[in-house]
Structure 1
Amino acid sequence: MKMIVGLGNPGKKYDDTRHNVGFELIGELARRWHADGFRDKHQAQVAEVVRAGEKVLLVAPQTYMNLSGVSVRLAADFYKLTAADLLVVCDDFNLPLGTNRMRPKGSAGGQNGLDNIIQQMGTSEFARLRIGIGPVPPQWSTVDFVLGKFSRDEQENADQAIRRAADAVECWIAEGTTAAMNEYN
């Protein structure tokens, strides 16, 4: 079993914000895979599907970004998953808009949701896929930027990055992190 976790903040106030590209990725995968059975479970919205012969959990934590690890830990414990079964998808304002970067492990890199997952899981040895939303314009605060919405001009690039990230997730499930990195970074 694999678990794909898309990070974001719950509630209409945060819909379509830059910080919620992880939720958007979960939505894209759900559309592709016809996963319409989301349930409230483990302080998250969770759906189960089968892809490439493997059961896959789509998880959108409802704990707010900075406490995402609570939901991830609950789901991982319930399903008896290890860090090797986990792929976390989040925004990254240090990457240019439209850029995706998958890694097999690493630091939080200033992403508070990733940081909380590392704390809760007790390891940074899990795959992560960062979707670029940057750069932060000099006149903006980082918080206002990530909680802001894409401009009309930016939205097409963001949508394309999310579709490409979904392709990378499908590759990760079928062929592993290295193959997905080689193809989609």
Structure 2
Amino acid sequence: MTFVGRLATSASFASLRSTTRQTARLLCTHDAGKVAANTRTPRSAYRRTTAAIGLGLSKALHTSDTLEDSPWLIVGLGNPGARYDGTRHNVGFQVLDTLAGRLGVSLGRAQDKALQSRATIAGQQVVLAKPITFMNVSGEAVGKLTRYYKIPSHKVLVVHDDLDLPTGKVRLRARGGHGGHNGMRSITQHLKGSQDFPRLKIGIGRPAGQLPVASFVLQAFNKAEATEVDIAVQECCDIIHSIMAVGLEKALSGVRA
């Protein structure tokens, strides 16, 4: 709890006794008008009222602290299984694996439909996660994780591939629609329709000729593309560090830490 929060809490409890006595009298004096105005408040009513008000204040303070202190959830999207390693649709996984390596942690623990790990980046607590639900239902894992760790949507950062960006191009956005990306569509649905969560996009380009998009995203990068994507993955890790170090707004404006 912050210093200001402690002052507010002290002030709240300082006025609690007088408020409680007044409230208890009101609660105990409308029994058919039989209680005289100068009748003393029963101790049992005083204790019940004190407990009720104290519990309400405690819950309010706990909720505030929980929202303020909740970790960031950093999610990389992809499909589980070795057959999808190195494919265009799995660049989100690639970023999370690289980030975990930088931080010296392992994404080996499966819980809430995701491989996950706790870590600290620039003093910020984070949960790293790779959904193992397959891309199109990634929201099932994200929804479970946000509920388990009590993470608000604005602290959910999703890393994913983007067909509309040139291969290797990186773009950070504070919010937005799913853009036709099924994984993002699923996440939006499981965050109760909220689009107010940041996303870090890596361009994979669009297929040439008549190749269906569904086939294209499951292809591996060619050698030249893989080199560009490797650079983009490192850039994404740098951006994530900057978000934790200087905040999302500054990171959006290009500030790097």
TM-score range, shorter chain: over 0.9
Query: What per-residue deviation string (whole Å, max 9, x for no partner) do you get for residues 13-56 of structure 1?
Result: 11110000000000110111101263101100001011111211
CA distance in 1, matches of 2:207, 2:163: 6
Figure out how many residues of one structure are paired with residues of the other and give that number: 184
The CA deviation at 1:173 is 1.5
CA drift of 1:144 comes to 1.1
RMSD: 1.2
Higher relative contact order (CA 8 A, sep 6+): 1
Say whether 1:93 aligns with 2:153.
no
Gap regions ≥5 residues in structure 1: none
Aligned to 1:82: 152
Among all aligned residue pairs of Structure 1 and Structure 2, give the percentage whose two residues are the same amino acid. Answer: 39
Name the structure where helix makes up a greater proportion of residues.
Answer: 2
Is the 8 Å Cα contact of residues 206 and 213 (structure 2) preserved in structure 1? no
Q: TM-score, normalised by structure 1?
A: 0.96
SS in 1 for 2:89: helix
Q: Does the aligned pair in 2 maintain the 1:37–1:48 contact within 8 Å? A: no
User: Separation in 2 of the partners of 1:37 and 1:5?
Assistant: 12
Over 3 Å counting, the alpha-carbon distance change for 1:147 and 1:82 in structure 2 is: same
Whether 1:48 aligns to 2:101 is: no
Q: Rg bigger for which structure?
A: 2
> How far apart, in 2, do the equivalents of 1:169 and 1:108 lie?
20
Which blocks of at least 5 consecutive residues in structure 2 are unaligned?
A: 1-70
Matches within 5 A, 1:75-154: 75-122=145-192, 123-154=194-225
- Give the TM-score normalised by structure 2: 0.70
Shift of 1:91: 0.2
Structure 1 runs of 4+ with >4 Å offset: none
Describe the SS at the equivalent of 2:129.
strand
Structure 2 residue 227 is the aligned partner of structure 1 residue 156: yes
User: In 2 relative to 1, CA 138–37 (structure 1 residues): closer, same or farther, beyond 3 Å?
Assistant: closer
Indicate how the Cα distance of structure 1 residues 37 and 65 shifts in structure 2: closer, same or farther if over 3 A, else same.
Answer: closer
Looking at secondary structure, tell me which structure has more strand per residue: 1
Distance across 2 between alignment mates of 1:103 and 1:8? 19
